[in-house]
Amino acid sequence: MRYRALLAFLAAIVAGLMVVSLLVGPAGVGPVAGIAALVDGKGALGLVMREIRLPRALLGAMVGGALGVSGAAMQGFLRNPLAEPGLIGISSSSALGAVIALQSGFAAVSVLALPGAALAGAVVAVALILMLAGPRGPSLTLILAGVAISALAGSFTSLVLNLSPNPFAVTEIVFWMLGSLSDRSMQHVAMAAPFMAVGALLLAPLGRGLDALTLGEDAAEAMGVRLTRLRLMLVLGTAALVGSAVAVAGAIGFVGLVVPHILRPFVGARPSRLLAASALGGAAMLLSADIAVRIIAPERDLKLGVLTAIIGAPFFLHLIWRTRGQIA
Amino acid sequence: MSVCAKVSKHLRVAGLAFGLLTGPVLGAPERVVSINLCTDQLAMMLAAPGQLVSVSMMAQEVESSAMAIEARAWPTNSGGAEAVFLLRPDLVLAGQYSTRAAVDMLRRLGVRVVQFAPEASFQDARDNIRKMGQVLGQQAKAEEMIARFNRDLARMTAPGKRPVRAALYAANGYSAGAGTLATEIMAAAGMINIAPSAGLSAGGTLPLERLVLAQPDVVIRAARYDGTSRAEEILDHPAFRALPTDADAVTGPEWVCGTPKLVHAVAAMVHVRNKIVANQ
């Protein structure tokens, strides 16, 4: 089975990158001592491995997976390779939701309040996009709607942070726009995990319906796919995944664009198979980016979105070039 | 030749006018405006009644200003050149590096501006107190203040026990390295700042991993601001909370500027140190 081999290969890459992620950090811990400390959790080194590096590696895989699978699902539903959570404004709307929750104090009410607010922001954006772009999601409408939503959400985020009484808040506009995994803790893992699980459960059964959709809506309905239900599950699933990812790591762009684009030929362009493959591929891409930022500029907290954009923007331009016939 | 001579004559005239406007003023200034948090405090301490006309807005902020209450007696300014000029000052007190544009503008408008370098040591603090005394014409008061500062510090010098290993930690993993007021406050209280040897970067940040592995005896936290920020979340990180700390091991506005209020910061740290030594 070529598909299973692909998944096994990607899973092995993710596992390898997680180990590398655990062993990279400013403290320069040896691999053997590091893994031993991770297992027994004793002393200062145990604290570093379990409370600082482990959550970072876990979040890298979780956030990357969430972004990859969201991109694949959106692209399958809209049958448009340009649909990506960051590009069409879902990430920036989530960031606005998260920032409002943090600055209003709502985030302190419950652990779930922050990802919940980010999810609400994401739902608004996904619903707006689907409303504006229509069932087929023509590229031009999709991208223009995304530009408008991103700009609006981004400026409101800046406004809220500018009005904060906290002098540090205003410098965090960059974090919300470009994302980072520095100094995250197990609290953030616990915060994101439930929402990501729900999102994954909502998207997992959509594979068959998305496959049928490649033949067109009428054909899909004739095959017994309930489109309204599919759409609702897609909106909520994507929003849960992107919302929780943004709530803990900020808006990281292009992962959902690049990963499905690379993997599509390997799964015979079948959306159902692309979902799982993109989840693993997204995890691998984000873990690699997070390892790279720590090696390139160990103490500068270089933002992840900088790296993913450097890799992703050329892909985006290439896709525009390829689909320019449709856009016009 | 003649062109050159003409130009140089113009330059001389211009220079003369410039010298008249910005040269040393005879007698003490009568309308002094301060636009920097640290010069605000020194001026409030040293100026004669009525001599200081306005202080910066930050002077009234309790998070940053060690004299926030006293500063309410003065009108504040935003530090903008226009607003300051309208106060018709005959002397403006400013910091060395901040508000560059405002300082340049005020000088072009012919206002005398004296800049004070930020204090990186107790000696810098003494130098700035003396300088402030000179520009305000309050030399005697300044010398008296320095003498009292020295006496208070000498009284606080910790007995020769094993120094406590400490590190300062604030939002974004910011820490204080060698050649800072914070390090000298710690040293005066019998603490060794471990941040430089733990690998403090040039940016002034110390990765949480390195702080944890350096195993300090006490971590001195920065007081938190209102509102929330991701920068301050690091102070809630489980790995940070596992480090030894103390309810009183918190920095405050006294740590910011080189004024005699530094003595309060030292006293607080002596208190923390004594508690830690007693528990060992």
Which pLDDT does position B60 carry in this prediction?
A: 95
Q: How many CB pairs under 8 A join A and B?
A: 85
pLDDT digits (tens, 9 = 90+) for A150-176: 999 999 999 999 998 888 888 888 889
**Mean pLDDT computed over B218-233:** 85
CB contact B244 to A (< 8 Å): no
Highest CATH level, class, for A62-327 = mainly alpha
**Mean pLDDT computed over A1-21:** 94
| Interface-testing mutation among B165, B237, B240, B256, with chain A (most A C-beta atoms within 10 A) | B237
**Partners of B95 in the beta sheet?**
B116
Greater model confidence, A130 or B258: B258
pLDDT digits (tens, 9 = 90+) for B91-146: 999 998 867 889 999 999 999 999 999 999 999 999 999 999 999 999 999 999 99
Edge-to-edge order in the sheet of strand B113-116: B76-77, B52-56, B32-34, B91-95, B113-116
CATH 3.40.50.1980 fits B160-279, yes or no: yes
Please state the domain extents for chain A. Answer: 1-52, 62-327
pLDDT band at A83 (very low <50, low <70, confident <90, very high): confident
**Mean pLDDT computed over A76-104:** 91
- Other CB atoms within a 10 A radius of the CB of residue A229 amount to 11
What DSSP designation does A223 have?
A: T
Distance from CA of B232 to the nearest CA of A (A): 8
CB contact A52 to B (< 8 Å): yes
Please state the domain extents for chain B. Answer: 28-151, 160-279
Considering just the CA atoms, what is the radius of gyration of chain A in Å? 19
Greater model confidence, A237 or A105: A237
Query: Smallest Cα–Cα separation from A184: which of A272, A280, A298, A52?
Result: A52
Q: How far is the C-alpha of B75 from the C-alpha of B60, rounded, in Å? A: 10
Of B212, B215, B238, the CB nearest to A185: B238
Q: Do the chains contact at B239 and A186, CB–CB below 8 Å?
A: no
CB contact B62 to A (< 8 Å): no
Average pLDDT, rounded, for chain A? 91
pLDDT digits (tens, 9 = 90+) for B46-91: 999 999 999 999 999 998 999 999 999 999 999 999 999 999 999 9
- Give this complex's ipTM: 0.82
CATH architecture, domain defined by B28-151:
3-Layer(aba) Sandwich (3.40)
**Both structure tokens of B267:** 């006293």
Contact status, residue A200 vs residue A62, Cβ threshold 8 Å: no
Q: Is residue B17 predicted with pLDDT exceeding 50?
A: no
Q: Is residue B35 predicted with pLDDT exceeding 90?
A: yes
Contacts of A27 in chain B (CB under 8 A): 207, 209-210, 213
Considering just the CA atoms, what is the radius of gyration of chain B in Å? 22
Beta strands B250-251 and B91-95 are: unpaired
pLDDT band at B25 (very low <50, low <70, confident <90, very high): very low
Q: Do the chains contact at B230 and A175, CB–CB below 8 Å?
A: yes
Which pLDDT does position A101 carry in this prediction?
A: 93
**Both structure tokens of B94:** 């400013």
Which pLDDT does position A136 carry in this prediction?
A: 66
Which pLDDT does position A205 carry in this prediction?
A: 95
Which pLDDT does position B26 carry in this prediction?
A: 52
Please tell me which residue of chain B has the smallest CA distance to A174: B230
Half-sphere exposure of residue A323: CA atoms within 13 angstroms, side-chain side: 18
Sequence-ordered alpha helix ranges (H) in chain A: 2-23, 31-40, 43-47, 54-78, 90-104, 113-133, 139-162, 173-178, 186-203, 207-213, 217-222, 227-249, 255-263, 271-296, 304-327
Fold equal for B28-151 and B160-279: yes
What DSSP designation does A49 have?
A: I
Sequence-ordered alpha helix ranges (H) in A250-303: 255-263, 271-296
Q: Is residue B7 predicted with pLDDT exceeding 60?
A: no
